């Protein structure tokens, strides 16, 4: 047990937790903005995939991973506009359109990367954006490496959580935005442009989820493997439900996923007698357990997932 | 409203097309012709078995359960197939990302399309092959790393235990902390064989060294690979890594770059240029030779009822370019390789 209960182990565990939670948090926040405007987007995984693919290609070709990160985010927006157009303007089902993104994106991303790099026996390696180290503060033992030596994108994601809390609680546009997800007809009658808000929500969602995907290939590892997203979009999707549709909730949920995964990887090394399949289940078991324990009132927007028709048809 | 319905319809058509090109690409005659690409000019009707001059067009198809560009196992197999196909004058086709439930369907379709040889790169395809093969006596099935054989089924396998042994011996020699690590994708037979060999190799070179094993539960989650490497370093001070988890291995080696004095051993293709400072060497499996064996036998009509196992002695396993960080060990490591070649080292193949 002494291998677990020491500061070095805990420090590493928490650093690893933040690193693994970052892409989930970005995509989760994107989905939060989407659902707050009543747009359930299960295409999150697809958006992350295209973000990862385009992000890597642009980052590799330009030699500038930051540009790649940005391009990946924009690719996410572009892809999500397909979803936005068919669900908002054409009012078709959100689930089926989200699913379509999940089918389209991996194929498109594979097509793009093979057009660029062909089929090689090894993966192409690109540059990555390194960690940020806050001077002086990062020297503080234990807390320093965890909080002040993280990745700039992790800080950005955490900052976004604060912005989200402030936006939805304290600003008028934020309340108008919420009204679109709760009761769009009332919002419309008060002069809120529902269609515009819904489109905006899709742009934000595409941008953040695309960035979450691009983070994987331009910040985490400088390589693009088809399937690198590995279902993270779906985890982020569940983090929004798990986090009860609040910014802080999404943050906690993604950190919990990150922690559980970090713990299970370390336990595989430390406890060799436990079958690894059992340990791999840990993040998911933890989710079920916490969901069972919590019986709060649901914060889900009332008009979530429903198409909105202005003329009332 | 009618205009909208029309748009929805067009969009659906586009999506259906996109889905068609998606992960579960069905084998089509076009796919065959397309994949044959540069080497062989695709005949106008590639479902016909003869060219205009009456010469037989040999065709081989590969099925993969991950992308063929995974930078690991299936990339190596695909390169092996195209390499061998070029040598023996075959046209090629492939289906990738095939789910386990679709194995039988895809095999049946290729056989129905009259392919001469269907290449199944992995023991996990064995059951599906044995189910399909009896119904198509004119199509030969080649299983890589399998144990099955029948009239039109043949298995070829690289000696994974030897591969693991070589990597283990090198890891044992190189380690400074006395801790070495193995990263597996999923616990399949070939991975178990490699681990078995790895343990023996480490014990041979450095009986004191300790082996840590970790499973990614994935073949393509590179990010998880990086996380595994970092957790192994931080919890157990592992300093030499070997893995058989395809794209995950790339992430593992990326994780090593964050620390001083940590190294990786690559497989199955030449990978030194990926990370010349951190990769010691690559244990190379010559898939062209291995798969070529099947193609050659298919052409000469001697295919079937055979399991061929090939390792160092047969020239299928070899050592790639030597990295800067193992120059000092090159001589003693090549000695182990030579001993394995001469049969002076006996390996226990029994899986525990």
The complex's ipTM works out to 0.82
A298 φ, ψ (degrees, to nearest 5): -70, 140
Which position has the higher pLDDT, B352 or B105?
Answer: B105
pLDDT at B217: 87
Instruction: At B51, list the tokens.
Output: 């060219």
Is the pLDDT at B53 greater than 80? The verdict is no
Q: Give the 3-state DSSP-derived string for chain B, with helices as H, strands as E and coil as C.
A: CHHHHHHHHHHHHHHHHHHHHCCCCCCCHHHHHHHHCCCCCCCCCCCCCECCCCCECEEEEEECCCCCCCCCHHHHHHHHHHHHHHHHCEEEEEECCCCHHHHHHHHHHHHHCCCCEEEECCHHHHHHHHHHHHHCCCCEEEEECCCCCECCEEEEEECHHHHHHHHHHHHHHHCCCCEEEEEECCCCHHHHHHHHHHHHHHHHHCCCCEEEEEECCCCCCHHHHHHHHHHHHHHHCCCEEEECCCHHHHHHHHHHCCCCCCEEEECCCCCHHHCCCCEEEEEEECHHHHHHHHHHHHHHCCCCCEEEEECCCCCCEEECCCCHHHHHHHHHHHHHHHHHHHCCCCCCCCCC
Q: Do A92 and B19 touch (CB under 8 A)?
A: no
Check whether A98 has a pLDDT greater than 90: yes
Cβ of B269 within 8 Å of Cβ of A221? The answer is: no
Q: Which of A1-15, A264-278, B182-196, B316-330 has the weakest average pLDDT?
A: A1-15
Kindly tell me if the per-residue pLDDT of B1 is higher than 60. no
Name beta bridge partners: B92.
B60
Q: Is the model's pLDDT at B48 over the cut of 70?
A: no
Between helix A247-270 and helix A282-293 the angle, nearest 10°, is 140
A103 vs B contacts (CB less than 8 Å): 15, 18-19, 22
Mean pLDDT of B242-250: 89
| pLDDT tier at A12, thresholds 50, 70, 90 | confident
pLDDT at B333: 92
Query: What is the model's pLDDT at position A293?
Result: 75
Nearest to B184 by CA among B227, B235, B150, B218: B218
Across the interface, whether the CB atoms of B215 and A276 are under 8 A apart is answered: yes
Q: List b or e across A1-11, with b for residues whose CB sees 16 or more CB atoms inside 10 angstroms.
A: eeeeeeeebeb
pLDDT tops 80 at residue B138: yes
User: Is 80 exceeded by the pLDDT of residue B10?
Assistant: no
Q: Please state the rounded mean pLDDT for residues B276-301.
A: 89
pLDDT at B34 over 60: no
- Cα-Cα-Cα-Cα dihedral of A161, A162, A167, A170, to 10°? 140
A196 DSSP 8-state letter: H
pLDDT digits (tens, 9 = 90+) for A178-195: 999 999 999 999 999 999
- Dihedral through CA A7, CA A9, CA A10, CA A16, nearest 10? 140
List the B317-319 sheet strands across, edge first.
B210-215, B179-184, B240-243, B263-266, B279-285, B317-319
pLDDT score recorded for residue B17: 54
pLDDT tens digits, residue range A121-137? 777 888 888 888 888 88
Question: C-alpha distances in angstroms, A80 versus A40, A303, B17, B128?
Answer: 12, 20, 18, 39
- Using pLDDT thresholds of 50, 70 and 90, give the confidence band for residue B3: low
Give me the helix-helix angle, A232-242 and A7-36, nearest 10°.
80
pLDDT higher than 90, residue A95: yes
Q: Reduced to 3 states, what is the DSSP secondary structure of residue A235?
A: helix
Please state the φ and ψ torsions of residue B59, each to the nearest 5 degrees. Answer: -130, 135
Q: What is the pLDDT of residue A4?
A: 60
Q: Which pLDDT score, from 0 to 100, does residue B40 have?
A: 37
Residue A160: partners with Cβ closer than 8 Å, 6 or more residues away: A26, A29, A208
B22 touches chain A (CB under 8 A): yes
Q: What would the two tokens of residue A250 be?
A: 């999404």
| Count of CB atoms situated within 10 Å of the CB of A275 | 10
Does the beta carbon of B273 lie under 8 angstroms from any beta carbon of chain A? Answer: yes
Contact list, A114 vs chain B (CB under 8 Å): 69
Using the predicted structure, report yes or no on whether residue A40 has a pLDDT greater than 80: yes
pTM of the full predicted structure? 0.83
**pLDDT average, residue stretch A244-250:** 92
pLDDT digits (tens, 9 = 90+) for B55-94: 788 999 999 988 888 777 888 899 999 999 999 999 999 9
For residue A62, what pLDDT is reported?
A: 93
Considering only CB atoms, which chain B residues are within 8 Å of A261? 227
Beta-bridge partners for B215: B184
Nearest to B154 by CA among B309, B316, B294: B294
**Per-residue model confidence (pLDDT) at position B55:** 75
pLDDT tops 60 at residue A278: yes
Residue predicted with more confidence, B315 or B196: B196
Residue B284 forms beta bridges with which residues? B318
The lowest-confidence range among A308-312, B155-159, B320-324 is: A308-312
Residues 27-56 of B with CB under 8 A from A: none
Q: What is the pLDDT of residue B4?
A: 62
Q: Which residues of A touch B231 (CB under 8 A)?
A: 12, 16, 262, 265-266, 269
Average pLDDT over residues A96-109: 94
8 Å CB contact of A114 and B69: yes
What letters, b where the CB count within 10 A reaches 16 and e where it falls short, cover B280-301?
Answer: bbbbbbbbbbbbbbbbebbbee
Decide if A123 and B247 are in contact by the 8 Å CB cutoff. yes
In chain B, the percentage of residues whose pLDDT exceeds 90 is: 46
Structural domains of chain A in order of their starting residue, each with its CATH number: 7-117+134-293 (1.10.3470)
* Mean pLDDT confidence for B226-247: 91
- Picking from A104, A108, A119, the nearest residue to B68 by CB comes out as A119
Question: Looking at the DSSP assignment, which residues form a beta bridge with residue B212?
Answer: B181
Q: Does B66 touch chain A (CB under 8 A)?
A: yes
Share of chain A above pLDDT 90, in %: 59
Per residue in B249-287, pLDDT (tens digit) is: 989 988 888 888 999 999 888 888 888 888 999 999 888
More confident residue, A213 or B312: A213
Range list of H helices, chain A: 7-36, 44-62, 65-84, 94-117, 143-147, 152-170, 172-182, 184-189, 194-215, 232-242, 247-270, 276-280, 282-293
- pLDDT band with cut points at 50, 70 and 90 for residue B23: very low
The DSSP bridge pattern shows strands B317-319 and B279-285 to be antiparallel
Terminal alpha carbon distance of chain A: 64
Question: Predicted confidence band at A10 (pLDDT cuts at 50, 70, 90)?
Answer: confident
Q: B318 at the A interface (CB within 8 A)?
A: no
Q: Kindly tell me if the per-residue pLDDT of B233 is higher than 70.
A: yes
- The DSSP-derived string for A131-150 is ----TTGGGSTTHHHHHSSS
The tens digit of pLDDT for each residue in A207-216 reads: 999 999 999 9
Task: Report whether A33 contacts A178 (CB < 8 A).
Answer: no
Residues in B closer than 8 angstroms to A125, CB to CB, are 250, 274-275
What is the DSSP secondary structure assignment for residue A216, as one 8-state letter?
A: I
Q: How far is B1 from chain A (nearest CA, A)?
A: 9
| Cβ–Cβ below 8 Å for B230 and A16 | yes
Instruction: Compute φ and ψ for B240, nearest 5 degrees.
Output: -125, 130
DSSP annotation of A87: I
Interface with chain B: mutation pick from A110, A227, A231, A309, highest number of B CBs within 10 Å: A227
d(CA A61, CA A58): 5
Domains defined for chain B, CATH in brackets = 55-158+286-317 (3.40.50.2300), 160-284+322-342 (3.40.50.2300)
Give the residue with greater pLDDT, A4 vs A111: A111
- Asked whether the predicted pLDDT for residue B49 surpasses 50, the reply is no
Reduced to 3 states (helix: H, G, I; strand: E, B; else coil), residue A5 is: coil
Specify whether the CB–CB gap between B202 and B211 falls below 8 A: yes
Q: Is A122 within 8 Å of B273 when comparing Cβ atoms? A: yes
- Sequence length of chain A is 313
* pLDDT score at B71: 76
Q: Is the pLDDT of residue A175 over 80?
A: yes
Q: What mean pLDDT, rounded, does chain B reach?
A: 84
Residues 220-259 of B with CB under 8 A from A: 220-228, 230-232, 234-236, 238, 247, 250-251, 254
- Alpha-carbon distance of A149 to A143, in angstroms, equals 9
Q: In the prediction, which pLDDT does B33 show?
A: 39
pLDDT at B24 over 50: no
């Amino acid at each position: 047990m002494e291998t677990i209960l020491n500061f070095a182990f805990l420090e590493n565990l928490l650093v690893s937790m933040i690193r693994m939670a970052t892409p989930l948090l970005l995509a989760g926040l994107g989905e939060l903005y989407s659902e707050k405007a009543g747009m359930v987007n299960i295409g999150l995984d697809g958006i992350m995939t295209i973000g990862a693919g385009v992000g890597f290609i642009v980052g590799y070709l330009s030699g500038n991973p930051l540009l790649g990160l940005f391009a990946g985010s924009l690719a996410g927006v572009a892809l999500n506009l397909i979803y936005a157009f068919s669900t908002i303007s054409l009012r078709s089902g959100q689930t089926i359109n989200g699913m379509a993104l999940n089918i389209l994106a991996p194929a498109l991303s594979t097509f793009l990367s093979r057009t660029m790099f062909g089929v090689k026996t090894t993966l192409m390696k690109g540059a990555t954006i390194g960690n940020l180290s806050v001077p002086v503060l990062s020297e503080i033992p234990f807390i320093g490496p965890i909080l002040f030596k993280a990745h700039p994108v992790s800080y950005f994601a955490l900052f976004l959580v604060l912005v989200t809390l402030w936006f939805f609680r304290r600003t008028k546009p934020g309340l108008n935005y919420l009204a679109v997800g709760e009761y769009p007809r009332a919002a419309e009658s008060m002069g809120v442009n529902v269609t515009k808000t819904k489109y905006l929500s899709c742009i934000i969602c595409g941008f953040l989820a695309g960035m979450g995907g691009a983070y994987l290939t331009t910040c985490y590892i400088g390589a693009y493997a088809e399937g690198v997203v590995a279902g993270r979009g779906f985890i982020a999707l569940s983090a929004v439900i798990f986090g009860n549709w609040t910014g802080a909730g999404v943050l906690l949920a993604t950190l919990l996923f990150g922690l559980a995964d970090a713990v299970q990887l370390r336990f595989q090394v430390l406890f060799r007698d436990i079958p690894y399949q059992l340990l791999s289940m840990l993040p998911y078991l933890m989710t079920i357990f916490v969901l069972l324990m919590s019986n709060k009132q649901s914060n889900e927007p009332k008009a979530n997932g429903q198409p909105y028709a202005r003329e009332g048809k | 409203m009618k205009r909208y319905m029309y748009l929805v319809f067009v969009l659906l058509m586009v999506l259906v097309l996109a889905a068609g090109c998606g992960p579960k690409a069905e084998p089509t005659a076009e796919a065959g012709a397309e994949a044959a690409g540069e080497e062989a000019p695709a005949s106008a009707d590639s479902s016909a078995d003869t060219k205009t001059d009456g010469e037989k067009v040999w065709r081989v198809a590969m099925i993969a359960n991950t992308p063929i560009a995974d930078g690991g196992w299936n990339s190596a197999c695909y390169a092996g197939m195209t390499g061998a196909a070029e040598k023996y004058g075959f046209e090629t086709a492939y289906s990738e990302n095939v789910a386990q439930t679709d194995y039988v369907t895809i095999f049946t379709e290729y056989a129905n399309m009259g392919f001469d040889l269907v290449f199944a790169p992995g023991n996990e395809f064995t059951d599906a092959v044995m189910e399909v093969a009896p119904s198509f006596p004119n199509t030969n099935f080649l299983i890589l790393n399998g144990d099955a054989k029948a009239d039109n089924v043949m298995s070829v396998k690289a000696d994974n235990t030897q591969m693991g042994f070589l990597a283990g011996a090198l890891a044992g020699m190189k380690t400074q902390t006395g801790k070495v690590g193995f990263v597996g994708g999923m616990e399949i037979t070939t991975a178990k064989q490699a681990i078995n060999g790895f343990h023996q190799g480490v014990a041979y070179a450095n009986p004191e060294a300790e082996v840590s094993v970790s499973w990614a539960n994935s073949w393509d989650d590179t990010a998880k690979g990086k996380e595994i490497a970092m957790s192994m370093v931080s919890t157990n001070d592992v300093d030499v890594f070997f893995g058989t988890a395809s794209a995950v291995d790339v992430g593992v080696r990326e994780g090593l770059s964050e620390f001083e004095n940590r190294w990786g051993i690559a497989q199955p293709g030449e990978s030194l240029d990926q990370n010349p400072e951190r990769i010691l060497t690559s244990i190379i499996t010559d898939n062209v030779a291995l798969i070529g064996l099947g193609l050659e036998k298919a052409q000469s009509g001697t295919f079937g009822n055979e399991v061929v196992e090939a390792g160092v002695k047969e020239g299928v396993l070899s050592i790639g370019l030597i990295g800067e960080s193992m120059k000092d060990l090159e001589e003693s490591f090549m000695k182990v390789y030579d001993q394995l070649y001469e049969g002076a080292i006996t390996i226990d193949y029994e899986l525990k």
